[in-house]
Amino acid sequence: MRMPRGWWRSKSTPAKIEAYTRWSYHFFAVFEIVLFGLPVLARVPLRFSGWLFAALCGHALLTTATASRAVDWTRGRREQPLRIMWTLGAVTAVFAAATLLVTKAQPADSDYLGALGSLATGAMGGGIGTVTLGMRRKRWMAALVVGFAAGCLTLALMLHAAPDDAVMAALALMLFPGFMVFAAIFSVWLLNAVYELDEARETRARLAVAEERLRFGRDLHDVIGRNLAVIALKSELAVQLARRERPEAVEQMIEVQRIAQESQREVRDVVRGYREADLGVELTGAQGVLNAAGIACEVRGETAGLPAEVQSALGWVVREATTNVLRHGDAGRCEVGIRVLEGRVVLTVENDGAESEETENEGAENGGASDGPPESRGSGLAGLRERLAAVDGTLEAGRVRKGVFRVVAEVPLAANEVTA
């Protein structure tokens, strides 16, 4: 039981939709055999029912193979399977025609004519619906349905069936295939839409990272750009004075040294500010990003008055938890709460996307921490525990109930008094 569940949890949402679409069409083949084939075995004489049932099973297997290749083509993994689509269309037409011939050969009062008619309808529905799964133009899909219905009408008239009965049979043969064509169109649209949404979410995440890098680059440019220009000018001036053997060259180089040391200090300040996470800013950013991704996010609690060290540590927890919800989970709701209880701050991040997030968090916990100073360790639960340990905090993460994943960080305020 654990292996299928683990296989399903490891899939992303688009992969789950693709698996659902693929196996739905595989189930349609089983549905075709059970619903339309078994009544033929039970009601039609043995001289017809045996080969009709065998032919239906072969048709169902061909339908399954065509559906798999059509889904792969929809996702761009292979070329359009035109050969097998034409084969399935031809087999469907021959099978439906053979079924109609058997039906015509039976007495008008036979009690198994309904089973034969259902058999033809089911084979046409499964075949046409699967063929249209590998098409894009809706006109061709409609033409396929109408063409099959017109062929059945022509064959019925050629077999000297009553015109009214032939027309009614042709219209009836259009209903189930038409439904299957609509199902194919909707399945392809849903599958492509889910993949496009997932790609858009990944693009948003990459753009957010790129924007943060640009902001960091602008901050560095603003801080050291002017100083570097002054250093270049003063160094050039010192060179000219040194060539003239003027004593002012030493003063200029001392000034260059001072500006360089000041630039080093300012760069360290910028990097330190970049590495420190502000809890209020992180909460606002997490709510905005999650809402933009279609995940309803609610934030409760106040951060005013908390020490800077506590806010920085908890801000990293919010940042990492938000990243996990976006990348690893399949959440539709996320709640973030801040509480001050008995001398400690409790941060809770809870979402309903535990199916795949738990596996990812386990991997992050086992191998997420990286070597280097604590400021550079930001990935995974192990890195968060190291950050919280610096302020005597703790971290717990795991599934609390079915489908719900919770991250709880606690930081005591005894060693970090609340500032006004």
Residues 156-195: tens digit of each pLDDT: 677 656 666 667 767 777 777 788 888 888 888 888 888 8
Kindly give the interhelix angle for 354-367 and 2-9, rounded to the nearest 10 degrees.
90
* Average confidence score pLDDT of the chain: 78
* pLDDT on residue 83: 92
Residue 39 and residue 106 in contact, taking contact as beta carbons nearer than 8 Å: no
Phi, psi for residue 159 in degrees, rounded to 5: -90, 15
Residue identified by tokens 């924007």 is 211
Looking at the DSSP bridge assignments, the partners of residue 368 are none
d(CA 36, CA 175): 16
Q: Longest C-alpha distance within the chain, in Å?
A: 124
Question: What tokens appear for 6 in the block?
Answer: 């683990």
**Average pLDDT of span 337-352:** 88
Per-residue confidence at 363, pLDDT binned at 50, 70, 90? Answer: very low
pLDDT over 90, % of the chain: 6
**Average pLDDT of span 221-234:** 78
Instruction: Spell 174-203 as b/e; 16+ CB within 10 A means b.
Output: bebbbebbebbbebbeebeebbeeeeebee
Looking at the DSSP bridge assignments, the partners of residue 297 are 334
pLDDT over 70, % of the chain: 79
Q: pLDDT (tens digit, 9 = 90+) per residue, 248-275? A: 888 888 888 888 888 888 787 776 665 5
* pLDDT on residue 347: 92
* pLDDT on residue 417: 58
**Average pLDDT of span 330-346:** 86
* pLDDT on residue 33: 84
Per-residue confidence at 301, pLDDT binned at 50, 70, 90? Answer: confident
Q: pLDDT (tens digit, 9 = 90+) per residue, 96-146? A: 888 777 776 565 555 556 667 777 778 888 888 888 888 888 888 888 888
Q: Is the pLDDT of residue 80 over 80?
A: yes
**Average pLDDT of span 295-311:** 85
Q: Is the pLDDT of residue 408 over 90?
A: yes
* pLDDT on residue 376: 36
d(CA 264, CA 267): 5
Residues 6+ apart with CB under 8 A from 91: 58, 59, 62, 127
Read off the pTM. Answer: 0.53
d(CA 188, CA 70): 10
**Average pLDDT of span 237-250:** 87
* pLDDT on residue 244: 87
Q: Which of 76-80, 215-219, 335-339, 381-385 has the lowest mean pLDDT?
A: 215-219
